[in-house]
Amino acid sequence: MLAGVDLDVAPGETVVLLGRSGTGKSVLLKTVIGLVRADEGTLSLFGQDVTRAGEAAWNRARRDVAMVFQGAALFDSMTVGDNVALGLRHQRRQGEAGIAATVERCLALVGLAQTAHLKPASLSGGMRKRVGIARAIALEPRLLLYDEPTSGLDPVTSDVINRLIRRVQKELGAAAVVVTHDMASARFVGDRIALLHQGRIVFDGTPADVDRATDPLVRQFVEGRSDESLVGGGP
Amino acid sequence: MRDRAIGLAGEFLPSPALSGPALVGRQVLAFFEDTGRVSALLGQVLAGLPAAGRYAGEIVKQMALVGVGSLPLVILVAAFTGAVTAVQAAYQLEGMVPLRYVGSVVQKSVLIELGPVLTALVVGGRVGAAIAAELGTMRVSEQIDALETMAIPPVRYLVLPRFVATTIMLPVVTVFADFVAVGGGFVVAYLGFDQAWHTYFEAVRNTFEPRDLFSGLTKAAVFGATIGLMGSFYGFRAEGGAEGVGKATTQAVVASCVLVLVLDYVLANLLFRVAF
């Protein structure tokens, strides 16, 4: 699916990965966090080669990486507070009092203070996404991965999520990779934008570079045109 | 992946369906593949047993769901099982063996075979389906992926508690089933052919052997482990949304029931021909 992806993310940088549906954006994110293993190539996280790492090594690497899933992936049987606390409890970084304080701080950061007792089923889509972000940042990761964070949300809620992503990046200082096909979101949250097409990165530049680009594939995506002459064939 | 077709929008299309000999071959290979994967999952679960104490809270919760939740249905099935066994024992013994031995027949049949097997089939259908549905839903909604990203091993966090709970609780539930079934047999003996309670229960007691109970509960423990494992296996590999979860649930129940019957035969030989 991916054949020739070269992508570097600097500390504190937010890279947005654009591309059409089915081109492998989510697969790339899952490869970065080890949910999918690459057949070829090299993957380095914070200078460590994890390409052929075993499960124990991946679990150590994952302490510095967190992912916000497209559907939030909250655990329905737990409250919001328990969802946010799950990783902290498992890694035993703090006692219960410390965990409770961290949960409240993270929920407050995403604008959901005093909701720890609620169940995910009672939340709206935007609230579930924000809890997903709170759960990710509770572990203080050095790299955050966002899979379509504004997918399925109305424009106002999407803007809330975009601003939250910027705020989280500023507060944590973590690097981020944001997968999306929402151009407005990409321009707002991204320091750099990369375009994935048929398994390869075909563009990598700043949001200003995107607006100036003359590459037909980039222009087609930015302008939202379905021109069949630019697609087809294999990787 | 490299040979997959590309759609009009540059996306990868699913592979075409197989038919005829290719389909049969694929299914044969899939059977052996699944056998290997189930064995691998069992290995991971057993390797995690020393750390089971960390998940004690979840184990207890699952034990309540398996045991307490299954009791009403198990009791109902057991009552009728005992009753039917008594009716058929009376029919078969009449004219050849005094009916005072009906209690013995019910007791032996229930403790050795009907108790553990029918309880396992009932619980397998109920609990096996529930486990597959829950884990399958978690799989398709990426909750299991979320656990992995938080360095929480999904097999230890999800499968281990369910495996331990079903292995422990099926013998417990079977004990209840045995008592109720023997009682159900008495009701038929009393109402059907006026047998006094001391006649019936003396026959039950006189032919009771601890090895019968032990063998039945050993079977129940193995069946319980099978139900927990198969429900988890099919739930874990569900894909394709609601349809995939439904398919996983059905497969889990069918596989559990088939394996219970196959293992019953294997264990019967081991316990009654080899061990004793």
Q: Which residue of A has its CA nearest to B58?
A: A77
Q: Which residue of A has its CA nearest to B3?
A: A234
3-class secondary-structure state, position A15: strand
3-class secondary-structure state, position A152: coil
Is B158 domain-assigned? Answer: yes
β-strands A192-197, A14-19 pairing:
parallel
**Range scoring the smallest mean pLDDT among A209-213, B108-112, B181-185:** A209-213
**Range scoring the smallest mean pLDDT among A19-28, B4-13, B265-274:** B4-13
Instruction: State mean pLDDT over B111-120.
Output: 96
Q: How many CA atoms lie within 13 A of A171 on its CB side?
A: 14
- Rounded to 5°, the CA angle A155-A156-A160 comes to 115
Nearest CB to A198 within list B10, B141, B150:
B10
Residues of chain B positioned with their CB less than 8 A from the CB of A21? 9, 11
Nearest CB to B152 within list A71, A90, A197:
A90
What structural domains does chain A harbor?
A: 14-77+141-230 (3.40.50.300)
Higher pLDDT, B143 or A41: B143
Chain A interface with B: residues with Cβ < 8 Å:
1, 3, 20-24, 30, 33-35, 55, 58-60, 62-63, 65-67, 69-71, 73-76, 86-87, 90-91, 139, 197-198, 226, 228, 231-235
Is B11 domain-assigned? Answer: no
pLDDT-based confidence at residue B258 (cuts at 50, 70, 90): very high
Q: Which domain holds residue B217?
A: 21-275
| Nearest chain B CA: its distance from A28 CA (Å) | 14
β-sheet bridge partners, residue A68: A146
Contact B8 A228 (CB under 8 A): yes
CB neighbours of residue B172 within 10 Å: 18
Residue B36 in tokens: 């290997």
- Residue A232 pLDDT > 50: no
Looking at residue A94, its pLDDT comes to 82
The model's pLDDT over B90-109, given as tens digits with 9 standing for 90+, comes to: 998 888 888 889 999 999 99
| Nearest chain B CA: its distance from A22 CA (Å) | 4
The count of structural domains within chain B is 1
**Range scoring the smallest mean pLDDT among A45-54, A72-81, B119-128, B264-273:** A45-54
Give A155-209 as a DSSP string.
HHHHHHHHHHHHHHHHHH--EEEEE-S-HHHHHHH-SEEEEEETTEEEEEE-HHH
Q: How confident is the prediction for chain B on average, in pLDDT?
A: 91
Residues of chain A positioned with their CB less than 8 A from the CB of B131? none
Q: Which helix (H) or strand (E) covers residue A16, if one does?
A: strand A14-19
Contact A71 B142 (CB under 8 A): yes
**Range scoring the smallest mean pLDDT among A76-80, B8-12, B141-145:** B8-12
- Residue A41 pLDDT > 80: yes
Looking at residue B216, its pLDDT comes to 96
Q: Which residues contact B72 (CB under 8 A, 6 or more apart)?
A: none
Place of tokens 């004690």: B56
Q: CA-CA distance, A148 to A157, in Å (whole number)? A: 13
Is B1 domain-assigned? Answer: no
3-class secondary-structure state, position A227: coil
Chosen from A2, A77, A90, A96 to mutate, greatest number of chain B CBs within 10 A:
A90
Contact B11 A73 (CB under 8 A): no
Secondary structure of chain B as H, E, C letters: CCCCCECCCCCECCCCCCCCHHHHHHHHHHHHHHHHHHHHHHHHHHHHHHHHHHHHHHHHHHHHHHHHHHHHHHHHHHHHHHHHHHHHHHHHHCCCCCHHHHHHHHHHHHHHHHHHHHHHHHHHHHHHHHHHHHHHHHHHCCHHHHHHHCCCCHHHHHHHHHHHHHHHHHHHHHHHHHHHHHHHHHHHHHHHHCCCHHHHHHHHHHCCCHHHHHHHHHHHHHHHHHHHHHHHHHHHCCCCHHHHHHHHHHHHHHHHHHHHHHHHHHHHHHHHHHHC
Q: Integer distance in angstroms from the first to the last C-alpha of chain A?
A: 8
Is B7 domain-assigned? Answer: no
Is B224 domain-assigned? Answer: yes
Instruction: State mean pLDDT over B253-274.
Output: 94
Is B90 domain-assigned? Answer: yes
Identity at A189, one-letter amino acid code: V
Q: What is the ipTM of this complex?
A: 0.89
Is B209 domain-assigned? Answer: yes
Burial B108-140 (b: 16+ CB within 10 A, else e): bbbbbbbbbbbbbbbbbbbbbbbbbbbbbbbbb
Q: CA-CA distance, B158 to B180, in Å (whole number)? A: 32
Looking at residue B118, its pLDDT comes to 96
pLDDT-based confidence at residue A229 (cuts at 50, 70, 90): low
- Residue A175 pLDDT > 60: yes
pLDDT-based confidence at residue A23 (cuts at 50, 70, 90): confident
Chain A to chain B, count of Cβ pairs less than 8 Å apart? 81
Is B14 domain-assigned? Answer: no
pLDDT-based confidence at residue A234 (cuts at 50, 70, 90): very low
β-strands A200-205, A192-197 pairing:
antiparallel
- Whose CA is closest to A4, among A40, A56, A48? A40
Radius of gyration of chain A, Cα coordinates, nearest whole angstrom: 18
Higher pLDDT, B107 or B15: B107
Residue A74 in tokens: 């909250």
- Residue A19 pLDDT > 90: no
Looking at residue A115, its pLDDT comes to 93
Identity at A155, one-letter amino acid code: P
pLDDT-based confidence at residue B1 (cuts at 50, 70, 90): very low
pLDDT-based confidence at residue A60 (cuts at 50, 70, 90): confident
The model's pLDDT over B174-228, given as tens digits with 9 standing for 90+, comes to: 999 999 999 999 999 999 988 999 999 999 999 999 999 999 999 999 999 999 9
Q: Which residues contact A103 (CB under 8 A, 6 or more apart)?
A: A81, A84, A85, A88, A116, A134, A138
**Cα separation values, B254 from B74, B80, B124, B260, Å:** 19, 23, 9, 10
- Residue B4 pLDDT > 60: no
3-class secondary-structure state, position A2: coil
- Residue A1 pLDDT > 70: no
